[in-house]
Structure 1
Amino acid sequence: MRTKADLISDVSILKRKIRAGLFSGVFLLAGSGFAQAQSPARTVISINDHWQFHKGRSSEDTLQDKWQMVQVPHTWNALDVMDDAPGYYRGVGWYKKRIAVNPSFRDRDVALYFEGAGQEAEVFINGKKAGSHKGGYTGFFIPATAYLQFDGKDNINEILVKVDNSYNENLPPLSADFTFYGGLYRDVYLVAADAVHFSFDAKGSQSVFITTPLVSAGKATIEVKGDVSNKSSALRKLSIVTVLKDKKGNQVSLQQAKLTVEPGKDASFRQQMPAVRQPRLWSPEDPFLYTLSISITDAATGEKLDELTQPVGFRWFSFDGATGFHLNGKPYKLVGASRHQDYKGLGNAVPDELARKDMQHLKKMGGNFLRVAHYPQDPSILAACDELGILTSVEIPLVNEITESEEFYRNSLDMQMEMIRQNFNHPSVVMWCHMNEILLQGRYNNDKPRQQVYLKSIEKLAQKMDSIARKTDPYRGTMIAHHGDFEKYRQAGLTAITDVVGWNLYSGWYGGKMEDFPSFLERHHRELPNKVLVVSEYGADADPRIRSFKPIKFDKSVEYTTRFHQYYIYEMLKRPFVAGAMIWNLADFNSETRGETMPHMNNKGLLTADRIAKDPYYLYQAVLTKEPFIKITSSSWIERTGIADSSTGLCVQPLQVTSNLDSVELLLNGKIIGKNAVVESLTAWSVPFADGKNKILTKGYKEGKWYSDEMDINFTMIPYSLKDERYPFRQLNVLLGADRYYIDQNRKQVWIPDQPYRAGAWGSLGGKVFKLTGNTRLPYGSDRAIAATDDDPLYQTQQTGIEQYKLDVPQGTYELTLHFAELQGGAVKGLVYNLENSARTEDSTSRIFTVLINDQPVLENFDIAKQYGVATAVSKKARIDVKDEKGITLVFKAIKGEPVLNALQVVKMD
């Protein structure tokens, strides 16, 4: 089991790499969306370093050891969301920092800018409250000038920030399948501007908004709106100068306007730029960006007072119910993924460079779309999408349910306006999203009249949000993402509100079968023909440690998930009316309340939490990339094992390859195994592996050039007969009650499925595979988190009613380890995302049994639940000397209930 010390070590190593510069550009101001505002007229200083942190309700502790030194970005939940204890700290954390402020800033307007604080923040400067913010996913300014000391020894200023991620019924999100981290988890800046400057927007934006009302291949127009603040005591006559330049720095368009601002007031301006002729259009294939500089100068002296720069991409797009999405006048299928903002060992306190790398992973996969879900994310994400050519949608964290209160509505609308204003200028953004699966958490199910009132409240809020979005930004589409209850959302009126209707569909995973998926698509197109359809979520868990040669729904195997994605993507590609396919998710992410094979993680990512590619990622590369591509999908599965054929001594196992070539050939140790046609980007061979190293080469030919991929597989052969001298017996690792393989990556060993006992070999006698009563989703075993281990799959399946286990090993000394867990009994928390898994109290199973090994009792009156509790890993070891030809026989004697065995390992010691 990995301990908290292990996790701290992982994080420390990563942070050392970041400090050492191994992640280039992490601390460059230009890498942040906010810091693009930097100019000689405006100073933007990162103040991420040397904060002190204290967790607790009060900040009054005077003992210095109550505070720890941290660097921002920081979250206090990086570790506790992964431990065995249920829940994680949701409460108050305090951050404080002392800064010296340049005395020259006395005559400037100074503010603090926080890119994000989870989820409520109060900011104090020199002991006085300077401001506050609600909402954990958008940035905010805190006016600072009136609270700062600028002169002499008194120019040392203390900033104190109270951050609170407690549950608040009036603050979205209320519930969701992700973790609500606390902390100052994004960058913090000190901003100093002239007394006359672009306003520090109350909604956290740069106060300059760029639109391109008319774009075609022949010409493009730009409109610029903005707000200017005059903090001086005199009336100011100003000139607003806006310049558009191409990548070479050539001036493309110029506009100037006069503006007069009263003392202590704000004023707005609006400019129409001269049209750009034959603009170079922005697209995922050619993400060409112009640069727009907007400056304020004193009309009398010509002095530049403030300046902002923003990227501009010329593109036009439209949505159509029959033909989907169109970009720059052509039909364009949106295919990409959603993203959560956390990273292994860091929580959501992720440096900008790692966030940008996520977008590089998506681009390399061939994706052209990112659903920024389920909340606005770090500014570096959309900046990277602009630069790389990834179209996006952005949404607020209105997930699962609402609270019917004026405060909740106000907070939701504030979040929406902050989201739109802060992300307005990104050419990559094509949609604003209001809600996600808002009817999933049912309320008032036993009071239908009251439920109708609740549904009307949701519809009213959705209508209000859509109206605001359209008024604030008439050039982009709107969307709500629904779970797969078609009739429920239509009756609630939600499918009629937005331009685009998103469906989160998991047929063949949480319920139903894969073949239900195209039927749903056709129903939407038939019954809502004028509404644009996107599949806003689809996916299946893929625990990279679990493999299966007989994959079935919910076995968590990578093989089942690969087949799932292959089926879904091709069903969508063949239907023009499906505008977009948004994979759930780009990478595995934390969801503290989840159990399953990797507790606290949602394993639907195409990448692991530390961004290692899984098989489906390569499948999408084959489907989406234009260049010839070929990849052995199980390239990370380098340690394999299996049972030798009794005659050949080899073990035949499938090996899968993904490619966009017409056919590929596979060679094993230089010998041709065969040439296969590629069907819907996949093909497979039955490969006869030998004991030891097996060199795999797969290759294909196109237009005069060979393309290939290769890997080495270390194969540990299990002899057909354990006394076969060709393969001296060494070790056997067996999973009971499962038809899947488990890869222990730390120990580099593989656990294989059990088999019925076969003379000369090994296997179980008696009993049956454990399956939860009344659960139609799980094929076998339990999805409960198992305490005291990180190898949960070893303990989540079992053989119940087992009578014997026999191993016909040769003479020698062996270490035998038996693994147990009681899988029934106690309360099981219902998870809202899982439609078939409501909260329940499982019947306790009273079982007491004795285990004998070669007639010697090793466990007597063994009561797992009583001694260790439910869903807790238990391992028992024994050493056995086999001095005859009878091998090892385990006998399970029932005293009460049925004996069980979850897994077994036998190792030859001599």
Structure 2
Amino acid sequence: MKVNYKKVKSSHFGHSVCMLILMMVFQSFDSVGQVGRVKTSLNHGWQFSRTIASDSLEWEAVNLPHTWNAQDVMDDKPGYHRAVCSYRKELQIDSRWKGKNLFIYFEGANQVADLLVNGKKVGSHTGGYTGFIVRVDQFLNFEEGARNEIVVYVDNRHNENIPPLSADFTFFGGIYRDVFLIATDRVHFSLDHAAKGIYVTTPRVSEEEASLHISGFLENTSEKDQRVRLKTTLRNPDGKVIGERTSLANLRKGSQTPLVLNMPNVQKPKLWSPESPNLYHVLVQVLDARSNTVLDEISSPVGFRWFRFDAKTGFHLNGKPYKLIGASRHQDFKGLGNALPDSYAIQDLKLLKAMGGNFLRVAHYPQDPAVLEACDRLGLLASVEIPVVNAITETEEFYQNCRSMQVEMIRQNFNHPSVIIWAYMNEVLLRMKFVGQPERQKIYISNVAKLARELEELTSKEDPSRYTMLAHHGDYTRYKDAGLLDIPMITGWNLYQGWYSGNIAGFAGFMDRFHQEYPDKPVVVTEYGADADPRIRSLSAERFDKSMEYSLDYHEIYLKAIMDRPFIAAGMAWNLADFNSETREETMPHINNKGLLTIDRKPKDIYRFYQSKLLSAPFIQISDWDRRAGCVDSGQVFSTQSMDVFSNGESVELFLNGKSLGQKQQSDKRFSWQVPFVSGTNRIEAVMSSGGQEYRDVRNVEFQLIPRKLKGDMLFEQINILLGAKRIYSETQSGLIWLPDQPYQSGSWGHIGGKPFELPSKARQGYGTDRNIRKTEDDPIYQTQQVGISQYKMDVQDGHYELILHFAELTSDEKKEALVYNLGQAEKQQAAQERVFDISINGLTVYRDMNVAKRYGALTAHSEKISVEVNGGKGIEIGFHPKQGDPILNAIQVMRKY
């Protein structure tokens, strides 16, 4: 598509274009007179439009970071705004800046960005997850009072030549990271590829001695040769200068000159590790040889550590075996999309560290510079990868974009001691192309392998000091036959046995098989996890119920298998926090909720489980399942349910309302008690001892007792029941607790007839439906149902009651997009069912010809409220009378009025 950049008013990009025009109001710098490099934020005072730039447009005032998809990815409408959008800002430049080199540095804009200054295109960048920098001083007006207009077009439309092509995360559009103006002298360190300008390596490190090597390039953009002095200073973690080196260099005008520096060896270095993240700092300055004026300077952290991966004994750090346990991270947050302040990213890593993690997989793309900076400071080892996800496009443009992304990722993040792995593909054979064309598919797979070999060679050339890795989904034979297991230095497996496919026990067998067949290949588990909706609990957890209990069972088994096998170098839970995936539906539409934290970073019980297994300091916390309901038999005043405690103590004692429920001993599993909860507030206290000191946690559990026999002495106010379900659901807003249904028994309540709704195939979803239910935030109430129900009976006492019947037609002819994250056999949709039925209450017909799909719409929540007067000891009997197809009921509520 040809774009005319001559005038801002011209029609750019066609009908789907959304343009970012950057209108910079730029005050004079107090630092104009400063020497060296000046970096100033340009985050404030932008204007934004979702359409092409024009003076007639209505602009919205925004600050950066900003995305235009923070809200539309969460609505019920499929898809989100993918286009080219506009930001603008005016820039006034102090005349004293004339003669400087001025650059605009973007930490990230997704995914194609074009920069215009005063109507002229001055630069562009492809790739939404690495930074880029554009020199702009040649196009600026430095006259007093002059206003410079800067326009940036950012395009997040699908492009077959730009990875990622598809993925289980949302491709938010916008200038979603920080933007800076950088001013340098005409002589400065190279800013090529938006890299730092110097590259620091530690070729030899031991407990006795460490070497330090620095390379890079100096640029002389002036019109004369210049003689400069290079001064390099190394400070230890306490800030003390421990080494200096000075040298002279002649820089030819208009040239780029290589820089190579070797510092004196450091004796008895303080080693960097997650337990002791000792950071040295090196400062490299270039000074005018005559005036000794600082022309440019760069500082960089230095961490002295050495490491290796071994196929038999796993990872080794500073000469000792070291198991890597942590999580992957996506960069979005509830309500903000991916446009996060640095503090949010830093807090994420503090939470990972507080969990006891020592490793971060930066997935599936390079992230904000603040992420790896925090890893260095906090002590988290890391891998970073480019977004080649699910598939490739067989074009030279796609290949070149991959190469460019890999080079930018490595050079921009080179100086971080936390980084130990560069990766470049994730589940690249998941969405196979040319299905049904075996010969063409062979060519495609060979091209995938060819690209992998190119990126492997490129990575080794750019940085031979670190390891390379590919992450594969669990189709072992497919990757083996493609040769992809042989290319990288480390093989990563994204495994979900017991979730997307197979059973939990299959995970250990898979890893053992790989190790047996590839005994010389280091291996890590790059992903594992199960959906954990914090609103869903279960007393009988099962696959796909999305309950916290199933996820806890899942993580217990996987973590034990990883820890028991020395050859597994690392285990990375998927994911640190829930994240946005617009195409997902399920119990929490548009959210992948496999996170150890919620999308707004509240810890789940899975997070507490990892703390109990990874932390060395004494730890004890009670499960946060603190709003409950349960049935009680006649004559009883309590309901017994399991209660988990997470602790690294040797033993834990649990108390209920001051009374001991006994002591449990440490094992591979979490501590668990059967607790007899009473109605109202239950004070739970857990106690452990360590080192002669007592540690405890206290939590109040609010419990609602529901009588199993409705005509007994115990009266109820309200019962909320999920049909076709075994799970318990807690509404976030109202606090209502929904219990699973039961078959009717005399004197109690329950359904008669029918069976729970199931999809035709259990390959992926075997629990109700995973479709998004419109017009509700409480999808789990409507995603299960009893199909073919004939009656629902409640043997209540005489009185006045209010019934609410909840319906949603779960079958539909609406086509569902093939899910890119489905790692098992593709699920089948159930065609729309024609169903018409009457509903009666105690023999009186209240609804004739009920057709849920026609009345409310398929996959749409609706409820009907009915008042019922019960007398003569009849209770409530709801009849479902089929006329066509099977009657359905999704949920029911009964409230006693008097």
TM-score where L is the length of structure 1: 0.94
Cα 1:403–1:216 shift into 2, 3 Å: same
Equivalent pair of 2:110/2:156 in contact (CA under 8 Å): yes
Asked if 1:373 is matched to 2:383, the reply is no
Secondary structure of the residue that 1:357 maps to in structure 2? Answer: helix
Distance 1:449 1:763 in 2: 57
Distance 1:894 1:257 in 2: 92
Distance 1:778 1:98 in 2: 53
The 5-angstrom pairing of residues 758-769 of structure 1 reads 758-769=745-756
Equivalent pair of 1:723/1:729 in contact (CA under 8 Å): no
The 5-angstrom pairing of residues 645-794 of structure 1 reads 645-725=633-713, 727-794=714-781
Asked if 1:292 is matched to 2:282, the reply is yes
* Residue matched to 1:53: 48
Secondary structure of the residue that 1:315 maps to in structure 2? Answer: coil
Q: 1:125 offset after TM fit, Å?
A: 1.2
Equivalent pair of 2:782/2:861 in contact (CA under 8 Å): yes
* Residue matched to 1:99: 91
Q: What whole-Å deviation, never above 9, does each CA across 1:694-728 have from its counterpart, x for those lacking one? A: 00001112221111111001111112322333x32
Between 643-652 and 737-746, report the one with greater CA deviation: 643-652
Equivalent pair of 2:630/2:739 in contact (CA under 8 Å): yes
* Residue matched to 2:441: 451
Distance 2:759 2:827 in 1: 14
> What runs of 5+ residues in structure 1 fail to find an aligned partner?
1-37
Distance 1:640 1:53 in 2: 46
Equivalent pair of 1:660/1:681 in contact (CA under 8 Å): no
Equivalent pair of 1:376/1:396 in contact (CA under 8 Å): yes
Secondary structure of the residue that 2:877 maps to in structure 1? Answer: strand
Equivalent pair of 2:283/2:300 in contact (CA under 8 Å): yes
* Residue matched to 1:530: 520
Asked if 1:167 is matched to 2:154, the reply is no
Distance 1:287 1:278 in 2: 16
Distance 2:843 2:730 in 1: 32
Secondary structure of the residue that 1:107 maps to in structure 2? Answer: coil
Q: 1:756 offset after TM fit, Å?
A: 1.1
* Residue matched to 2:63: 71
* Residue matched to 1:264: 254
Q: 1:810 offset after TM fit, Å?
A: 2.4
Distance 2:97 2:745 in 1: 83
Distance 1:814 1:150 in 2: 78
Q: What whole-Å deviation, never above 9, does each CA across 1:586-636 have from its counterpart, x for those lacking one? A: 00000000111111110100000000111111111011111121121x21x
Secondary structure of the residue that 1:831 maps to in structure 2? Answer: coil
Q: 1:773 offset after TM fit, Å?
A: 1.7
* Residue matched to 2:185: 194
Secondary structure of the residue that 2:555 maps to in structure 1? Answer: helix
Corresponding letter in the other structure for 1:113: Y
Distance 2:34 2:437 in 1: 59
Asked if 1:126 is matched to 2:118, the reply is yes
Equivalent pair of 1:218/1:277 in contact (CA under 8 Å): yes
* Residue matched to 2:22: none
Q: 1:674 offset after TM fit, Å?
A: 1.2
Equivalent pair of 2:88/2:152 in contact (CA under 8 Å): yes
Q: 1:543 offset after TM fit, Å?
A: 0.4
Match of 1:800 among 787, 796, 809: 787
Asked if 1:856 is matched to 2:844, the reply is yes
The 5-angstrom pairing of residues 154-553 of structure 1 reads 154=146, 156-201=147-192, 203-553=193-543
Q: 1:836 offset after TM fit, Å?
A: 3.5
Q: 1:840 offset after TM fit, Å?
A: 4.9
Q: 1:99 offset after TM fit, Å?
A: 2.2
Equivalent pair of 2:634/2:712 in contact (CA under 8 Å): no
* Residue matched to 1:6: none
Cα 1:327–1:887 shift into 2, 3 Å: same
Equivalent pair of 2:621/2:647 in contact (CA under 8 Å): yes
Q: 1:61 offset after TM fit, Å?
A: 4.5
Distance 1:765 1:839 in 2: 30
Equivalent pair of 1:376/1:419 in contact (CA under 8 Å): yes
Q: 1:455 offset after TM fit, Å?
A: 0.8
Q: 1:241 offset after TM fit, Å?
A: 1.1
Asked if 1:113 is matched to 2:105, the reply is yes
Distance 1:906 1:713 in 2: 24
* Residue matched to 2:860: 872
Q: 1:353 offset after TM fit, Å?
A: 0.2
Between 377-386 and 857-866, report the one with greater CA deviation: 857-866
Distance 2:803 2:232 in 1: 77
Runs of 4+ in 1 over 4 A off after TM superposition: none
* Residue matched to 1:86: 78
Q: 1:761 offset after TM fit, Å?
A: 2.1
* Residue matched to 2:574: 584
* Residue matched to 1:15: none
> What runs of 5+ residues in structure 2 fail to find an aligned partner?
1-32
Between 786-795 and 813-822, report the one with greater CA deviation: 813-822
Q: 1:905 offset after TM fit, Å?
A: 1.0
Secondary structure of the residue that 2:556 maps to in structure 1? Answer: helix
* Residue matched to 2:562: 572
Distance 1:335 1:840 in 2: 36
Secondary structure of the residue that 1:342 maps to in structure 2? Answer: coil
RMSD of aligned Cα (Å): 1.3
Match of 1:628 among 618, 626, 640: 618
Distance 2:845 2:734 in 1: 30
Equivalent pair of 2:500/2:763 in contact (CA under 8 Å): no
* Residue matched to 2:9: none
Q: 1:816 offset after TM fit, Å?
A: 1.2
* Residue matched to 1:643: 631
* Residue matched to 1:10: none
Asked if 1:904 is matched to 2:886, the reply is no
Q: 1:841 offset after TM fit, Å?
A: 5.0
Q: 1:850 offset after TM fit, Å?
A: 1.1
Secondary structure of the residue that 2:608 maps to in structure 1? Answer: helix
* Residue matched to 1:824: 811
Q: What whole-Å deviation, never above 9, does each CA across 1:446-500 have from its counterpart, x for those lacking one? A: 1111111111111111111111111111100000001111111111111111111
Distance 2:356 2:735 in 1: 32
* Residue matched to 1:619: 609
Equivalent pair of 1:831/1:839 in contact (CA under 8 Å): no
TM-score where L is the length of structure 2: 0.95
Corresponding letter in the other structure for 1:59: A
Between 498-507 and 853-862, report the one with greater CA deviation: 853-862
Cα 1:882–1:328 shift into 2, 3 Å: same
Between 813-822 and 46-55, report the one with greater CA deviation: 813-822
* Residue matched to 1:138: 130
Distance 1:841 1:699 in 2: 50
Q: 1:160 offset after TM fit, Å?
A: 1.1
Secondary structure of the residue that 1:455 maps to in structure 2? Answer: helix
Equivalent pair of 1:284/1:390 in contact (CA under 8 Å): yes
Corresponding letter in the other structure for 1:67: W
Distance 1:67 1:520 in 2: 55
Secondary structure of the residue that 1:383 maps to in structure 2? Answer: helix
Equivalent pair of 2:761/2:827 in contact (CA under 8 Å): no
